[in-house]
Structure 1
Amino acid sequence: GNFCICSIATGMTIELIVMAAVQHRPYRQTVDNLLVLLIGGIPIAMPTVLSVTMAIGSHKLAQQGAITKRMTAIEEMAGMDVLCSDKTGTLTLNKLTVDNNIIEVFTRGYEKSDVVLMAARASRLENQDAIDFAIVAMLPDPKEARAGIEEVHFLPFNPTDKRTALTYLDAKGKMHRVSKGAPEQV
């Protein structure tokens, strides 16, 4: 970081000396040219600066014993406010469950059971996802998630969209779309 700032400051000083003292250009024109170079260079150098910064962060984490498989994990961890960690078995039972008491419904005409059913419809048991299993396990019968509907399109979860979605036709032929995922994405 300091090397980069010092390099930019040195380059700007040399440019100032060359333009003002050697070429005898007006001070205002010299400053304008410096600003154009500085602002123009930022977008070009940004990917390189970000990659180098991530590599340095990854190296420092590795020195402290942390191993990251993906460079983006560093960026994601930087955005966290709280990290809760647990050694399985000390505080948890190694079984993911959904607490029915914390489900809140904000739309009139719907009950908690409707929200659970819609979330189960947006889940896929074939994916072997623990969250999907926990949601579908809240239903009295797991087959209820797909009963009476015809699937039109299923959008599987991916880390970019951070959500899943199902478009389906009900028994009356009416089209519906249910989605579950990160609140800012849904």
Structure 2
Amino acid sequence: MELVTPELGLSIWTAVAFIILLVILRVFAWKPILEAVNAREESISSALAAAEEAKKEMASLKASNEELLREANEERQKIITQAKALQDKMITEAKDKAKSEAEKIVADAKESITMEKAAAMTELKNHIASLSIEIAEKIVREQLSSSDKQKALAENLASEVTLN
């Protein structure tokens, strides 16, 4: 039973040794351990603050990126609209130019046709006139083949002419 119930002297010396150990630990071990724990707590809290700040900065950058993306989309849409307007303008100008050139070609063709028609009419009139002269000449030769007919015609023409 001696082991289960220690004597008073052993209990005192155990208590004294425990108190000395507590003092030594308090002076040499607890202070550095508490400082290390406090430093660790401060580093963790500063890391959490930095993470929170980074999270806020990321949110700000995300909003900034979304704004830049929206502006880029607006600019792209504006450029596309301008390009379409320029395309429509160029197409309209090309159509107008082609139409005016076609009208000019048609007008030139009509003028050319009119001139060729007039030339053909003139040539036809000249040909008809030469044919008429040939026919008249043949008729007159036939009618004037005898001298009696020539005298009768000369007298007829002389009577028709009036002298002033």
State the TM-score, normalizing by the size of structure 2.
0.22
TM-score with structure 1 setting the length: 0.20
Q: Which has the higher strand share?
A: 1
| Higher Cα radius of gyration | 2
Higher helix fraction (1 or 2): 2
